[in-house]
Chain A
Amino acid sequence: MNERKVFGRSRSLREAQTHYCPGCGHGVIHRLIAEVIDELGIRESVIGITTIGCAVVAYDYWDFDCVESPHGRGLAVASAVKRVRPKNIVFTYQGDGDLAAIGAGETIHAANRGEDVTVVFVNNSVYGMTGGQMAPTTLIGQRTATTPRGRSVQAEGYPLKISELIAQLDGASYVERCSCDCPKGILKTKAAIKAGFLNQIEGKGFSLIEILSACPTYWNLSPLESMEWMKNSLMKEFPLGRLK
C-alpha cells in the first residue's frame, strides 16, 4: 500500500503541547504563522516578538528566534530589532490588551514611522491571561470580570477599532481584519498573514493583520457557541476585510 503524508507538524513548530484552553484561537494562529514562515522559507531569518498575554510563551511552541517584550512594548522592541537587523524578518504577536490598551502609543508611533515589521494582532475582546477583564475591544454589553453588568458606553466608552485607526496613518502599508471562526476564515487569515510577511520581504513598510479569535473560557461559552458569537456579535462590531 502506498502511503503519502498529507499533514504533519510544521518545521517552525516545536514538538510541544500548548497550554491554551479548548476552543482558543492562539494554537491555530501559531500554526498559521509557522506554515507561512515555512512556505516562505524564512525560518532562519525570522525574529518573533512575543508580548505579555496568554501567548507570551509562543516561543515555547515556535522553533525560531524570539524576543520577549514587556507588556505593550512589542512594537518598540520590534522597531529596534528590525532597524539593527534589517535583513531579518521581524513580527510581533500581540493581544488586544497589549496592543490596543497599554501599548496603544507604541503601536501608533511604530505604524506612523512606517517600521518595516509585521504585526499579528489577536483580538478576542477580553484579557485572557489575567482572568477575563475588559479589553479596549470588549463589546458594549459584554460581561467581563471588570464589567460585571456589561460594558457601558457611559462608563467604559466604545470598542476601540485599532485597525481602522492604523489604516489612516501614512506609515501603514497593509491592514486587514480576518477571523478564525471557520475553515474558510482560517484560510483567509493565513493568506493575510502571508501577505503581511511578503509585504515586509518586499520592504513596503508596516503591516497589521487583526485576527478575531475566540476565548470560550472568558466568554462563558462552549467552543462551538463561541464561533457563533464571533459571527453574530464580534464581526458586527469589527467587520472583516482589507482596510488598506
Chain B
Amino acid sequence: MGREKVLMPGNEAIAQAALDAGCRFYAGYPITPQNEIIAYMALHMPLAGGVFIQSESELAAINMVLGASACGVRAMTSSSSPGISLMQEGISYLAGAQLPAVIVNIMRAGPGLGNIWPAQSDYFQAVKGGGHGDYHCMVIAPSTVQEAYDWTIKAFGLADKYRLPVIILGDGMLGQMMEPLFVAHDGDKRITNHEPRITKSWAATGCKGRPANVVKSFRLQMGDLEQLNEELQEKYSRIKAKEQIAQGLFLDDADIILVAYGTMARMAKDAVNALRDQGLKAGLLRPISLWPFPVDILKQITKKPIKILVVEMSYGQMVEDVKLAVNGRVEVDFLGRSGGGILSPEEITAKAKGLLENE
C-alpha cells in the first residue's frame, strides 16, 4: 500500500490516474499528441474490469461517455484540440443533463489542422463554454506529470460532487514528457478517494424498486428551462466560492508578478528565478483551476502597486480573465507565442526586465 515511484509520460500518468480513480469507461479516437492515453486505456481498462471503446469519431466518443455516465459509471474521454472541437455539442449536453465526466484536452496548435506542437490556444474554448448555452466545465491545468496524475484523480471526485464535466487542460509537452512521479500502489484508497464516492440515485440502471429515472437536458416549457439554468448558475456560484486554486511563488515582496498556467508556468518559474538572481523582485502566480478562475488571489495581490505580466502559449486568452480580475487596479502586460513556438525563460526574463526598467 501507499505510494510507488514510477517514470511515465504525462499522457500515461493521466490514464493511470483515471483507472486509480475508479474510471471504468473510456472511449476515444486517435489524435496526436494524446495517443498514449487511448493506447494505455486499450491495454489496461479491460484488466481493471472496465469498458474500452475505440469510437468511430470524437462525436461518438463524447456521447459514449454521456451514455456511460448516465448509468452512473465514472467515464472519461481524451483528445487534442480539433477533436475537442468536435465534442463541444456533447459537452453542452453533459452540462445540461448534469452528468459527471472527465475530458482530457492535450492541446496542440491551431487553428484548423494546425500542427501537433504544444499550445495553449484552447483556453477560451475550455473556459468560456465551447458549446452552446449558459454552462461551465471545471477546467484544471496541471503543470507537471505528478500534477497531471493527482488532478486527474481529483477531477473524478469533483465531477461527481458537482455533477458536471471537468476538463483536464494540458498540452503536447505535458502529454509527451516523462517525469518521475508517485502513483497509488495497488489503488491505495487514501490516495485515490479524493472525494467520498457518491450514490448516484439519478442514474439510469433499470427502474427496479423505484420510480423511473430519465437523464435529459430537454426542457420544453420555458419556465422549466429557466429553472434548470438557475440551478446551474447556483451550482457555478458554489464552485466559484469553493474551488479556486492557484499556486504562488515570491508573491509577498514582488514588484512584478508573472501569471502563467500549465507547462508555460514552468518556463515562467525559471524566468522568475533568473530575475531574482539579478536582484529583481519577481513573483509567479500559477492558476491551477482556470474555471473557476482564481480571481480572489489576483484581487488580493493587486492591492499593492505591482506590475503583472501574463505569459501564454497563445496570443492572449487567459490575459482577459486576469484583466477582469484586476479590474484596472494595476497594469497588465502580455507576452505570448503560439503555433508551435514556445517562449523560452530568456525571452520572458527580457520582457519582464524591460517592464521594470520602463518605470
Contacts and interface: CB of A to CB of B under 8 A. Distances in A.
Chain B binds chain A: yes
A109 B70 contact: no
Nearest to A87: B206
Candidate in A45, A62, A63, A85 with the most chain B CB atoms within 10 angstroms: A85
A64 interface: yes
A88 B51 CA distance: 16
Contacts of A106: 56, 59-60, 63
A73 B212 contact: no
B274 interface: no
A76 B63 contact: yes
B65 interface: yes
B214 A65 contact: yes
A131 to B, nearest CB: 16
A69 B63 contact: yes
Given A76-B59, A84-B24, A44 B206 contact: yes
Nearest to B93: A70
Nearest to B56: A109
Given A79-B53, A80-B67, A85-B71, A68 B217 contact: yes
Contacts of A83: 25, 51, 53, 68
B229 to A, nearest CB: 17
Interface in A12-58: 43-47, 49, 56-57
Nearest to B72: A84
Contacts of A109: 55-56, 60
A185 interface: no
Contact of A80 (B51, B216, B218): B51
A168 to B, nearest CB: 17
B245 interface: no
A59 interface: yes
Given A47-B206, A70-B89, A76-B60, A81 B71 contact: yes
B343 to A, nearest CB: 39
B66 interface: yes
A44 B207 contact: yes
A53 B216 CA distance: 14
Contact of A66 (B24, B53, B68, B214): B214
Contacts of B89: 70
Contacts of A208: none
Nearest to A12: B212
Interface string B287-303: 00000000000000000
Nearest to A60: B214
A45 B214 CA distance: 14
A76 B69 CA distance: 13
A37 B61 CA distance: 29
A65 B207 contact: yes
Contacts, number: 127
B27 interface: yes
A70 B68 contact: no
Contacts of A43: 207
B64 interface: yes
Contact of A85 (B53, B93, B97, B205): B205
A47 B205 CA distance: 7
Given A57-B218, A80-B27, A45 B63 contact: no
Given A79-B67, A84-B73, A66 B212 contact: yes
A88 B205 contact: yes
A105 B57 contact: yes
Nearest to B208: A44
A45 B208 CA distance: 7
Contacts of B24: 84
Interface in A78-111: 78-81, 83-85, 88, 105-106, 109
Given A47-B206, A65-B212, A73 B59 contact: yes
A109 B54 CA distance: 11
B249 interface: no
A178 interface: no
A107 to B, nearest CB: 10
Contacts of B262: none
B27 to A, nearest CB: 7
A73 B97 CA distance: 15
B213 interface: yes
A106 B68 CA distance: 16
Contact of B206 (A56, A85, A105): A85
19 contacts: A44-B209, A59-B216, A63-B207, A65-B206, A65-B213, A66-B204, A66-B213, A66-B214, A67-B215, A68-B214, A69-B67, A73-B60, A80-B27, A80-B53, A81-B70, A84-B68, A105-B57, A105-B60, A109-B56
Interface of A: 43-47, 49, 56-57, 59, 62-70, 73, 76-81, 83-85, 88, 105-106, 109
Given A73-B66, A83-B25, A106-B60, 11 more contacts: A45-B208, A65-B212, A67-B215, A79-B67, A80-B63, A80-B75, A81-B68, A84-B67, A105-B56, A105-B60, A106-B59
A-B interface, 7 closest residue pairs, ranked by CB to CB distance from nearest: A80-B67, A68-B216, A77-B67, A73-B63, A76-B63, A80-B64, A44-B208
